Structure 1
Amino acid sequence: MSMEAKTIERSERNIQNVGFIEKIKPHAELIAAVLSGVLIAAGWLMDKYNLEAQSIIAYLLAFVIGGFAKAKEGIEATFENKELNVEMLMVFAAVGSAIIGYWSEGAILIFIFALSGALETYTMNKSHKEISSLMELQPEEALLVTNGADRRVDVSELQIGDHILIKPGERVPSDGIIIKGNTNIDEAAITGESLPVSKGNQAEVFAGTVNITGAITVEVTKMSTDTLFHKIIKLVQSAQSEKSPSQLFIERFEGTYVKVVLAVVFLMFFIPHFLLGWSWHESFYRAMILLVVASPCALVASIMPATLSAISNGAKHGILVKGGVHLENLSHLEAIAFDKTGTLTKGKPEVTEILAKEGLNQENLLWKVASIEKHSNHPLAQAIVKYAKLHLEKELFHPDRLEDVAGWGIMAEIKGEQWKIGKADFVGKEAAEAFAGGKAKNLASEGNTLVYVQINGELSGMIALKDVVRSESKMAIEQLKKHGIHTVMITGDNEKTARVLAAESHVDQYFAECLPEEKVEHVKTLKTKYKTVAMVGDGINDAPALAIANIGIAMGEGTDVALETADIVLMKNDLPRIAEAINLSKRMNKIIKQNVVFSISVIMLLIASNFFQVLDLPYGVIGHEGSTILVILNSLRLLRS
């Protein structure tokens, strides 16, 4: 074999070795714990056959292999924080057991401690897996279209305005707008919704989602670092690093508790010997057991695994929580305020009723009105066109003449007929109010905006449009009321419209004609009356109110400002997920309480048993470390849907 071939073979072998090491790295603690257990079993067998020296060597190896990770972690944390911790208590207890000749008990302590540590690491890895799986969904390359030709480029090279081709089965590499083609998109990675969404011309697509059926050309609207997908990853990462108030309290408590335990252990070396007549050996033995059983391992593990599991569960279902503190607070929610447009309502007007004068075909009227309105960018005009395309089989046509009258409406000519479409004053206010027996007044009182149609100087039709309440909004409000939460709608709409929409959405209270600063004042007022208040919104004008609320909740389809200001983000505009998040918060707090009560009870029971000399070191080790494992397993239940 040539020197070059040997070099290549050696390089390939090194790459394989590095790959193997990377694969087993996340499982290193578990492997060390298992190996420690095997060595303990070997030491026990050697001891049984009177191979004492070999037995001690096996136990010593079990100490080193099983305890290395936790001892290293404890020593580094002690030097960094200038304070003793739980890991150091375990090291002292294991070394103390070996000093008095209890090699097997000390090794078992290290083994179970290593096992509980591996389980805690598993919980952390399981939580981080949500980020890893998300990051894997981000394509590394995109098919850039330039002058009709396409070429593969790195996603980081894409610029705003670039055109990219996305074929069926491929993931969308960047946020953008479809400029050519129709398809179905699987948005589960973004919204948590499993059903594909139909997308056509001018529809928005997001990085990380999957193009299922047709080839589409997309115009890039955001840099790779600014995509919604990238923001989701940052949100989950920040959530996992932010600690809840309960976790911070436990960590502050841990340092003081460790010092107290060490002081009591030191006193136990002497006081029982002089006051109770225990032998020096018994006093030292009981002090070592106390060192083991009084350690707050289970208590320390009561909160963080539960919080991480709950945050991961939420992320999996499209509920992104920016930290344990917000999830913890959610279960204490007493009032919740909703922005109207785009939150309780769809945010876009929809046609609710069409009226035509007697003798005029309603379908034909809609066809001609939509053909005129398709040349306008006004939201009401676009809503009429959308409605016509859904309900008519005819293709829209081009009128003979068009004139846009800013602020009033539009004029057109169709085969010699003179058409005027717009507000009441544009076509004649008196005629508009009298049209169809004065029905305009009733429709307006129900929150409708009215568009009038005049043909050759005669009022011939009327179209009512309204920003309708989402069907799921009513369900969400009812769910929140079952939790005893006071619901409020805050809107910039007039009093009449606000009253109608508040009744339709079933909220308890509403505030109308609110500017952004007035929304903030209303939230502040709610905070004086209720302990914990949430604000739900999606627009730039909602950002100040989201920031001032105890918990800000943003809709995922909202503006970037709202997403960045909020504490919780619903990746799909699905309000019932707020109730899901509250249920998740209550489950998390319940499990944390179970963990805390259980761990404290076990510690107290073990300390009392040790003081009355009925607890041996092996049982103390099993009771203490077993409780830690049970607490972590209990927290893992939150990963289930």
Structure 2
Amino acid sequence: MNNKNFLSSELLFPAIKNSFVKLHPKILYKNPVMLVVALGSIITTIALFSDYFLGNQKDFIFSLQISIWLWFTVLFANFAEAIAEGRGKAQAESLRKTRRDTQASLINMQTKVIRTIPASKLVKGDYVVATAGEVIPADGTVVEGMATVDESAITGESAPVIRECGGDRSAVTGGTTVLSDKIIIMVTAEPGKSFLDKMIGLVEGAERKKTPNEIALNILLCGLTIIFLLAVVTLKPFALFQNVSLSIVALVALLVCLIPTTIGGLLSAIGIAGMDRVLQRNVIAMSGRAVEAAGDVDILLLDKTGTITVGNRMATEFFPCPGVTVDELARASLAASWFDQTPEGRSIIKLSNEMHAHFILPTNSIAIPFSAETRMSGVDTPTETFRKGALESITSWVQSLGSKVPPEVIYNVTKISKLGGTPLVVTKGSQALGVIYLKDVVKPGISSRFERIRAMGIRTIMITGDNKLTAAAIAAEAGVDDYLAEAKPEDKLALIKSFKQEGLMVAMSGDGTNDAPALAQADVGLAMNTGTQAAREAGNMIDLDSDPTKVIEIVEIGKQLLITRGALTTFSIANDVAKYFAIIPALFLTSIPSLGVFNIMHLASPNSAILSAVIFNAIIIIFLIPLALKGVKYRPRSASNLLRYNLIVFGLGGVILPFLGIKLIDVIITNLNLV
């Protein structure tokens, strides 16, 4: 996913072209504020030609300048939206290149007969075979076999992933490539509705639907526009009463300056850019509503394994029995784990090596693999036997050899269990040498991330299938606010429903079929791309990198979207206040001298005041486009602090900047004799 600079020629020139295309009435009507500006531009253009044919040279020059800058105002607003859309369209185009007219090997699961058909002819429920070097023709679920798959065309991640039948790694995406082995896939997507098709549609900014907050803000902007329209209309009879010359062009310019054109011009770009920022993190948001909802989240539910912890329990310490050295225990642990290829087994080997334990495997040694029946694993050499396993299994083992487990081992097993770890007892022959402490390793820096989330006013809850003792230990170390232990799918769903009944917004990440009900119920459901088809369909966001902790970043992006919209709305309304003080006193100062106290800027003339305000009103949109696309920098803070910051920076700044800008423009156009 490329994050293109909005000043690059690849985006700039198409955006300029689309700025004119968006002048079409069918497009303009979607933005009521800009529609009013466009209608005003038409009126001033008609007045311009009227002045020309009537020979009013001075009025013609003034009308010409006002008309040009009013059209620029509309075009600049269209340009902001076109730039935001252009970034999404550029990403969509790169995705289209990954889609090919692939041939599919359709298989009859009963007769096992295979025939080749175009991938476009596949329907939901078909079965296809994909072997090494072939492109997976459609979205589906692996029903037979296991293979490594290159998903770089979709995720941008070069490392291949494993896809296999059953479990949470069975979903495959059309357009990805099988690197090894063979798999049989059941197609789960209808033609034209694949994951890739959805991605292309979602990143097309033009197809983005307005969110509820955006609609509400549009209604507010429409209301303000109507109020200012009525106010400006009443100025005409007032001007006649005061014997003040007030042309239609001046009234239109005044209306455009007073209505919230700044936020009206940038509103759509802000929303599109918010989805784009999510996409830059390799997350596909199914709608702008999902991104916006992330900004309002009150509760964040996080799965323990793979999110808070690294995913596998790791060996961290040896507890030897009295009379046994740590070196002896480490050597025995190394021997017992020699053939253990699980992550836990490899971590025991790593810890033993770090303690400089040495073991040379003799020839004719016999590997003893772990089994659910024995709950032990190890190795038998010609002269020695080594085992590691659960306390109950090891107890039975040493008793069968005429020995017993020392009380120190039982004590350490209990101690480790209370700490939330997994104890493994190690034996050499019939002697129990000690205990290995396996623990869930909390991801580095996760605690500080939870502090950031807490500063946002969001409560974090860890969900785990572990017992309460283990869950409590991990929750305390990670720094989450609460936990749900021994959680079943129905427990997750019930928890989310209870929060929503309290009026709280809930976000959750998950990847398994058992997570699907909860993902569907949550306001923000982040599904992993490596997860099951059920999980991906249930969530309203899909993480292409399959990083469960990314839900924290999504919440921050959602809040940044809301803050940016609020900040620029504050700035826009504050702008209107300044422009009011610029124009009204200048218009009526000669007939109402008492208005001089409000003539703070001391602009040269009524015409220069109006033209200066119109020019500033147009160019401020261009200057704010980078901020709208990048977003206001988000820092975790309370709502009261955020409001105070907004009022000071964007409220007060929105008043001061127009005063300075309009005065500067007035000086320039006066010296250039433009009015």
Q: TM-score normalised by the shorter chain: which range applies?
A: 0.5 to 0.7
Could you say which residue in structure 2 is the equivalent of 1:38?
none
Q: Residue 626 in 1 paired to residue 619 in 2?
A: yes
Q: Residue 118 in 1 paired to residue 76 in 2?
A: no
Q: Residue 30 in 1 paired to residue 23 in 2?
A: no
Shift of 1:338: 1.9
Moved more, 152-161 or 569-578: 152-161
> Would the alpha carbon gap of residues 96 and 181 (structure 1) be closer, same or farther in structure 2, given more than 3 Å must change?
same
Could you say which residue in structure 2 is the equivalent of 1:272?
239
Could you say which residue in structure 2 is the equivalent of 1:501?
474
Shift of 1:564: 3.5
Match of 2:485 among 506, 509, 512: 512
Task: Please give the alpha-carbon distance, in whole angstroms, between the structure 2 residues aligned to 1:201 and 1:29.
Answer: 41
Contact 2:320 2:434 in 1 (8 A): yes
Q: Residue 444 in 1 paired to residue 417 in 2?
A: yes
Task: Please give the alpha-carbon distance, in whole angstroms, between the structure 2 residues aligned to 1:394 and 1:228.
Answer: 50
Task: Please give the alpha-carbon distance, in whole angstroms, between the structure 1 residues aligned to 2:422 and 2:482.
Answer: 23
Match of 1:72 among 13, 18, 25: 25
Report the TM-score when normalising by structure 1. Answer: 0.68
Q: Which amino acid aligns with 2:625?
A: I
Match of 2:64 among 104, 111, 125: 104
Task: Please give the alpha-carbon distance, in whole angstroms, between the structure 2 residues aligned to 1:141 and 1:316.
Answer: 28
Contact 1:599 1:628 in 2 (8 A): no
Task: Please give the alpha-carbon distance, in whole angstroms, between the structure 1 residues aligned to 2:471 and 2:10.
Answer: 60
Could you say which residue in structure 2 is the equivalent of 1:253?
220
Q: Residue 128 in 1 paired to residue 89 in 2?
A: yes
Could you say which residue in structure 2 is the equivalent of 1:165?
132
> Would the alpha carbon gap of residues 410 and 362 (structure 1) be closer, same or farther in structure 2, given more than 3 Å must change?
closer
Task: Please give the alpha-carbon distance, in whole angstroms, between the structure 1 residues aligned to 2:210 and 2:138.
Answer: 33
Could you say which residue in structure 2 is the equivalent of 1:315?
279
Report the TM-score when normalising by structure 2. Answer: 0.65
Task: Please give the alpha-carbon distance, in whole angstroms, between the structure 2 residues aligned to 1:210 and 1:396.
Answer: 44
Match of 1:287 among 237, 240, 251: 251
Q: State how many pairs are aligned.
A: 561
Contact 2:228 2:259 in 1 (8 A): yes
Could you say which residue in structure 1 is the equivalent of 2:46?
95
Contact 1:540 1:561 in 2 (8 A): yes
| SS of corresponding position for 2:266 | coil
Moved more, 486-495 or 573-582: 573-582
> Would the alpha carbon gap of residues 206 and 461 (structure 1) be closer, same or farther in structure 2, given more than 3 Å must change?
farther
Bigger fraction of residues in helix: 1
Shift of 1:89: 4.0
Task: Please give the alpha-carbon distance, in whole angstroms, between the structure 1 residues aligned to 2:458 and 2:368.
Answer: 56
Contact 1:141 1:154 in 2 (8 A): yes
Shift of 1:305: 0.8
Task: Please give the alpha-carbon distance, in whole angstroms, between the structure 2 residues aligned to 1:602 and 1:411.
Answer: 75
Equivalent positions of 1:314-463 (< 5 A) are 314-352=278-316, 363=331, 366-367=334-335, 371=339, 382-383=342-343, 387=347, 399=366, 406=373, 423-428=390-395, 431-432=404-405, 434=407, 436=409, 438-451=411-424
Task: Please give the alpha-carbon distance, in whole angstroms, between the structure 2 residues aligned to 1:199 and 1:157.
Answer: 27
**In the TM superposition, what whole-angstrom CA distance separates every residue of 1:145-164 from its partner, at most 9, and x where no partner exists?**
99xxxx99966589766233
Could you say which residue in structure 2 is the equivalent of 1:301?
265
Could you say which residue in structure 1 is the equivalent of 2:657?
none
**In the TM superposition, what whole-angstrom CA distance separates every residue of 1:487-532 from its partner, at most 9, and x where no partner exists?**
3223232111112211232223223233333334444555688955
Could you say which residue in structure 2 is the equivalent of 1:470?
443
**In the TM superposition, what whole-angstrom CA distance separates every residue of 1:593-628 from its partner, at most 9, and x where no partner exists?**
332223223334444544442245644542332233
Shift of 1:363: 4.9
Q: Which amino acid aligns with 1:278?
A: V
Task: Please give the alpha-carbon distance, in whole angstroms, between the structure 1 residues aligned to 2:628 and 2:578.
Answer: 22
Contact 1:535 1:552 in 2 (8 A): yes
Alignment identity in percent? 20
Contact 2:76 2:621 in 1 (8 A): no
Contact 1:602 1:627 in 2 (8 A): no
| SS of corresponding position for 2:97 | helix
Could you say which residue in structure 1 is the equivalent of 2:644?
none
Contact 1:303 1:592 in 2 (8 A): yes
Task: Please give the alpha-carbon distance, in whole angstroms, between the structure 1 residues aligned to 2:243 and 2:493.
Answer: 70
| SS of corresponding position for 2:262 | helix
Q: Residue 480 in 1 paired to residue 445 in 2?
A: no
| SS of corresponding position for 2:442 | coil
| SS of corresponding position for 1:337 | strand
**In the TM superposition, what whole-angstrom CA distance separates every residue of 1:73-108 from its partner, at most 9, and x where no partner exists?**
367769xx9x97554344334334443443623244
Could you say which residue in structure 1 is the equivalent of 2:576?
603
| SS of corresponding position for 2:302 | strand
| SS of corresponding position for 1:315 | helix
Could you say which residue in structure 1 is the equivalent of 2:669?
none
Contact 2:511 2:527 in 1 (8 A): yes
| SS of corresponding position for 1:246 | helix
Which ranges of structure 2 fall in alignment gaps of 5 or more residues? 1-8, 53-59, 108-114, 354-358, 588-605, 635-675
Contact 2:304 2:464 in 1 (8 A): yes
Task: Please give the alpha-carbon distance, in whole angstroms, between the structure 2 residues aligned to 1:113 and 1:453.
Answer: 76
Task: Please give the alpha-carbon distance, in whole angstroms, between the structure 2 residues aligned to 1:262 and 1:153.
Answer: 62
Could you say which residue in structure 1 is the equivalent of 2:637?
none
Task: Please give the alpha-carbon distance, in whole angstroms, between the structure 2 residues aligned to 1:540 and 1:162.
Answer: 24
Q: Which amino acid aligns with 1:30?
A: I
Task: Please give the alpha-carbon distance, in whole angstroms, between the structure 1 residues aligned to 2:212 and 2:293.
Answer: 10
Contact 1:551 1:567 in 2 (8 A): yes
> Would the alpha carbon gap of residues 74 and 343 (structure 1) be closer, same or farther in structure 2, given more than 3 Å must change?
closer
Match of 2:630 among 616, 619, 637: 637
Task: Please give the alpha-carbon distance, in whole angstroms, between the structure 1 residues aligned to 2:312 and 2:128.
Answer: 26
